[in-house]
Amino acid sequence: MTTANSPTAAATETPDTDDDRTTSVGRVEALTDGVFAIILTILVLEIAIPPNLSQHSLAEVGKELRATLVAWIISFLITAMYWFWHRDLFARVRIVNRDLVWLNLLFLLPACLIPFAASVLGKYPDEAKAVYIYGIVMIAVTVMRTFMYWYVIRRPRLLKERHRPTRRRSRQGLAIAAAPVVVYALAIALAATSTAASISLFFSVPILYFLLITVLRERSGSGAEADEFS
């Protein structure tokens, strides 16, 4: 007779059906939240009063900081968009494996460059190369975001059962995730002609994203379906 403590019983009760090392979602979320908090903090630190303030009027100071403030607002909204997406995705994740942990780190890698790209764009708003740098960083973040989303939805065992998307919802989610790449690429293409138009396109991404998500959530038939749009 096999006892409860025997190897045979243990193997029967807890079969090893997963070759990947799995862990809690909480640690990944905590790390990501901390990184995004630092990114947002560094962004605001780029806003500094010009030296020799006594030699400038308030209007001149405002004019000098205008480009930096615009770059900060755009970057803050885009960073918030990516954090919001990450929060919604991982609210549906049950467990994470080693691959997903690494994909999350690779998603954070270009995200950490957002303050640098914003600083360059704020200091050189009329330079096409500044737009190129900003656009390339944003494309890299979006590509990693899209790839991580694709990886998760292709592995339903990582998701909570009620949050496993249908094939149609998966395609819609991938399209939404990848859509900013088109806008960023267009902004890069227009940089040589008009950096102002490029900056406007960057600004449109988080606004259009949140509007689209809001519309899709309102049209969904249930709360579970609405949660698939993030």
Q: What is the pLDDT of residues 52-110, one digit of tens each?
A: 655 567 667 667 788 889 999 999 999 999 999 999 899 889 889 999 999 999 999 99
Domain enclosing residue 219, as ranges: 21-47+57-227
Please give the tally of structural domains in the chain. Answer: 1
Q: Is residue 135 part of a domain?
A: yes
- Under 8 Å between Cβ of 140 and 171: no
pLDDT at 6: 47
Residue 223: its pLDDT value, please?
47
Query: Pairing mode, if any, of strands 22-23 and 96-97?
Result: antiparallel
Alpha-carbon distance values, 209 to 11, 82, 117, 155, 223 (Å): 48, 10, 21, 25, 19
Is 188 within a domain? yes
pLDDT tens, 134-185? Answer: 999 999 999 999 999 999 988 888 888 766 766 777 788 888 889 999 999 9
Q: Per the domain annotation, does 13 fall within a domain?
A: no
Tell me the HSE value of 175 on the side-chain side, using a 13 A CA sphere.
9
- Distance from C-alpha of 20 to C-alpha of 29, rounded to nearest angstrom: 19
Q: If you compute the radius of gyration of the chain from its CA atoms, what whole number of angstroms results?
A: 22
Q: Is 22 helix (H, G, I), strand (E, B) or coil?
A: strand
DSSP conformation class of 160:
-
For the chain, give percent helix, strand, coil, nearest 5. Answer: 75, 5, 20
- Please give the single-letter amino acid code of residue 43: L
Task: Decide: 153 and 170 in contact? Cβ < 8 Å.
Answer: yes
Q: How many residues does the chain have?
A: 230
The CA distance from 135 to 183, in Å, is: 9
Residue 10 belongs to some domain of the structure:
no
| Two tokens, residue 158 | 């990582």
Q: What percent of the chain has pLDDT over 70?
A: 78
Specify if 14 maps to a domain. no
**Are residues 210 and 80 in contact, defined by beta-carbon separation less than 8 angstroms?**
no
The answer to the question of residue 124 being in a domain is yes
pTM: 0.81
With respect to residue 98, please indicate whether it lies within any of the assigned structural domains. Answer: yes
Rounded to whole angstroms, how far apart are CA atoms 105 and 107? 5
Please check whether residue 195 lies inside any domain of the structure: yes
